[in-house]
Amino acid sequence: MPRTEDMQITLRDGSKMGAHVAYPDKEPVGAIIAIMEIWGVNDTMRAHAQEFAEAGWITLVPDLFWRMEPGVELSDADPADWDKAIDLYYDFDYDLGVEDMEDTAAFLRTIPGGNGKVGTVGYCLGGKMGYLMCCRGSDIDCAVAYYGTYIEHAIGEAPNLAKPFQLHQALADKWVPPVVCSFIERRLSGNPLVEIHKYPGADHAFARHGGTTYSAPEAERALGLSVEFFARHLND
């Protein structure tokens, strides 16, 4: 079982952001930022950190909503959490979030034992964050996006996508419906750095451990593809 800890990361302006980190049992071969959904750093995100730590990477889950409410933990199974999660999502500042993730990547490069390479894996909101980092000159090495909610709202940045990017599309997703998936694929597929994997019949958040739409076959397939992608781009 990977060792875990909770810590504080110092950002460029001196502010502190909370984070959960999982460390592999063997010598790490790089690091991954696991960027959360709208539900905060909860049991699902800690489980994702465990998955990628078990595959060999230091995996850190930043508290993306720290400016609005540090330490929020919500669940899609609790109706009372939905309004709060949606409010946090629409109040979130993507530009500041990208800066925070860049600072997180810089921090991860200082952790002993790594090879200096950092990727991101993001879910829903976090998937769009990885996309934006690939488009905005970040020095991350690669990014994986699950669902990638509202990437289409930033599709104008696609010509600037300059890092390897893997996108998992659920084709029965009410938040990213098939017409939007097709649009995103059409606009991104000409870039040789982009690979897109489709999951017919899978709903939004099919990889959310314990979630109401979790589907093990699709989650396991996507995890395998993600691990293989990170091995190509993060390992020496």
- From 81, 173, 203, 233, active-site residue: 173
**141 tagged catalytic:** no
What is the full DSSP assignment across 137-193?
T---SEEEEES-TTGGGGGGGGGG--S-EEEEEETT-SSS-HHHHHHHHHHHTTSTT
Q: CB within 8 A of 43, min separation 6: which ones?
A: 73, 209, 210
Read off the pLDDT of each residue in 90-119 and give the average, rounded to a whole number: 93
Read off the pLDDT of each residue in 199-212 and give the average, rounded to a whole number: 95
Q: What share of the chain has pLDDT > 70, as a percent?
A: 100
Q: Can you give the pLDDT at residue 27?
A: 79
- CATH number of the domain enclosing 228: 3.40.50.1820
Q: Which pLDDT band holds residue 236 (cuts at 50, 70, 90)? A: confident
Read off the pLDDT of each residue in 10-33 and give the average, rounded to a whole number: 93
- From 204, 209, 233, 236, active-site residue: 204
Contact between 9 and 16 (Cβ < 8 Å): yes
Looking at the predicted structure, is the pLDDT value of residue 162 above 90?
yes
Contact between 225 and 193 (Cβ < 8 Å): no
Looking at the predicted structure, is the pLDDT value of residue 113 above 90?
no
Contact between 52 and 32 (Cβ < 8 Å): yes
Q: Which pLDDT band holds residue 26 (cuts at 50, 70, 90)? A: confident
Q: Which pLDDT band holds residue 126 (cuts at 50, 70, 90)? A: very high
Domains held by the chain: number: 1
Read off the pLDDT of each residue in 21-33 and give the average, rounded to a whole number: 90
Q: Which pLDDT band holds residue 11 (cuts at 50, 70, 90)? A: very high
Q: Can you give the pLDDT at residue 63?
A: 98
Range of the domain at 191: 3-234
- Arithmetic mean of pLDDT over the chain: 95
pLDDT per residue as tens digits for the range 167-201? 999 999 999 999 999 999 999 999 999 999 999 99
Q: Can you give the pLDDT at residue 176?
A: 97
Read off the pLDDT of each residue in 100-114 and give the average, rounded to a whole number: 90
Read off the pLDDT of each residue in 22-47 and give the average, rounded to a whole number: 93
Out of 25-34, 138-147, 150-159, 176-185, pick the least confident: 25-34
Q: Which pLDDT band holds residue 51 (cuts at 50, 70, 90)? A: very high
**173 tagged catalytic:** yes
Q: CB within 8 A of 205, min separation 6: which ones?
A: 37, 76, 123, 124, 147, 170, 211, 212, 213, 214
